[in-house]
Amino acid sequence: MRRALALKFDLNKGDMATTAISKTGAGNRTASLPPASLIFGRTAAMQTTRMKVDKVASSGVPILIQGDSGTGKGLLAKFIHQLSPKLNSPFVKVNCAAIPGALLESELFGYEKGAFTGAQTAKPGRVELADGGTLFLDGIDEMDISLQAKLLQLLQDGQFFRIGGQEDMRVELRVICATNRRLEAEIASGRFRQDLFYRINVVSIELPPLRSRVEDIPELVAHFLQIHRVRHNMEARPLSASALHLLSKHSWPGNIRELENLMERYVILGSEDAISSELLNWEYTHTPREIPVEGQIHLKKVTRQAIDDLERKIILSVLEANHWNRKRTASALRISYRALLYKIRRAGLPRKRGMHLPPAQIISPSPAAREN
Ligand SMILES: Nc1ncnc2c1ncn2[C@@H]1O[C@H](COP(=O)(O)OP(=O)(O)OP(=O)(O)O)[C@@H](O)[C@H]1O
Ligand SMILES: [Mg+2]
């Protein structure tokens, strides 16, 4: 079998990609995905990513998406596919981390009858199934180094062979890879081929952690509430301003996936108290967020933030230890009762465990405001 799809790519049309989808009516296919405005949100970094995606989606070049777990790499891969001329062709995902090495080869490239014990019939691999469309290799860092050579050949000339096969096969597809590890470090330790890295990394997209997209949290919350209300056929009120404030202070180690799961629990449990105690508990037991070390550092601001985080953590611990009795907490901390109330409000903590401050009582702890 030799197949070659003549797909015409036009880089200059990239900017028009978003509009083109709705014009051709293909917008229906994107109905399962959130709107682009939600996927990219408002931060400058994600706006730059959006422009990059608009430019490259129609080009067919390999794309490498990097980012921590739950930042939306899988979602973005689907979005890029739906924005491309291949949107009506298959989108085939392979989770390299979930399939052990030897099996991954047969899963990807397929096998001929009799290729190994148990191969009673020939089976096409996912590469063939993705012909004409997009092959999404999730967790590419987990691929065995021996299999990486075969993938490199596929990327170089579109050729591969099934296990036990004699004949080279040919496909035309776009490859999108995703990883939550730094591939440069994998190369340095000999676990990832440098030549393959350059092949898959023609365009590189870095998805930021949710904690640096705080301004997008309210829209994401509204989106997930709507989804889970419908999914569970349950009512749930919009979150109060104080609960949203708590969400904005959380460091989100599980990123957008963690926020989605939290919103699902909120819809099911029907109470803000449950989720706010969960977040407070998390803060109580975990270390404060890491201090950013890239780019320029505003020492005064970062130090103030670290002190505030530490103070907040100490107050929380002592409140917990005193069953949220504020008089005893103040005395244990050797500060006045009034000073404690002020600090509780300033840190955006509830007055009691499971209670919420009315929005007017929240003092915004914005770093700029605290500068002076
Ligand atoms: N911008 C977004 N808008 C709405 N939902 C999102 C967004 N980003 C991610 N999600 C949702 O969050 C969840 C996690 O996203 P996804 O699976 O794409 O993350 P990931 O980076 O691939 O994670 P992992 O590294 O663990 O595979 C999914 O349910 C996805 O639909
Ligand atoms: Mg994923």
Residues 58-116 have pLDDT tens digits of 999 999 999 999 999 999 999 999 999 988 999 999 999 898 878 999 999 999 998 88
Q: What is the whole-number distance in angstroms between the Cα of residue 68 and the centre of ligand 2? A: 9
Predicted pLDDT of residue 353: 64
Q: What is the whole-number distance in angstroms between the Cα of residue 95 and the centre of ligand 2? A: 8
Residue 90 has which token pair? 């298959």
Residue 154 has which token pair? 């596929």
The answer, yes or no, to whether any atom of ligand 1 lies below 6 A from the CB of 133, is no
Q: Are 126 and 90 in contact (CB under 8 A)?
A: no
Domain 211-370 has CATH 1.10.8.60: yes
Q: Which atom of ligand 1 is nearest to the CA of 74?
A: 18
The answer, yes or no, to whether any atom of ligand 1 lies below 6 A from the CB of 30, is no
Q: Which of 152, 242, 239 is nearest to 200 (CA)?
A: 152
The answer, yes or no, to whether any atom of ligand 1 lies below 6 A from the CB of 67, is yes
Predicted pLDDT of residue 277: 77
Query: Locate tokens 């005064």: which residue?
Result: 300
Testing ligand 1's pocket by substitution, the residue of 43, 257, 262, 264 carrying the most ligand atoms inside 8 A of its CB is 257
More confidently predicted of 243 and 372: 243
User: Average per-residue pLDDT in the chain?
Assistant: 83
* Range of lowest pLDDT (24-28, 235-239, 298-302): 24-28
Predicted pLDDT of residue 364: 35
Helix (H, G, I), strand (E, B) or coil at 336: coil
The ranges assigned to domains in the chain are: 11-208, 211-370
The answer, yes or no, to whether any atom of ligand 1 lies below 6 A from the CB of 108, is no
Predicted pLDDT of residue 299: 81
The answer, yes or no, to whether any atom of ligand 1 lies below 6 A from the CB of 77, is no
Predicted pLDDT of residue 281: 72
CATH T-level fold of 11-208: Rossmann fold (3.40.50)
- C-alpha pair distances (Å), 239 with each of 186, 218, 234, 267: 42, 9, 15, 10
Give the tens place of pLDDT for each residue, 216-226: 999 999 999 99
Q: Is the pLDDT of residue 19 over 70?
A: no
Q: What is the whole-number distance in angstroms between the Cα of residue 124 and the centre of ligand 2? A: 24
Residue 167 has which token pair? 């004949």
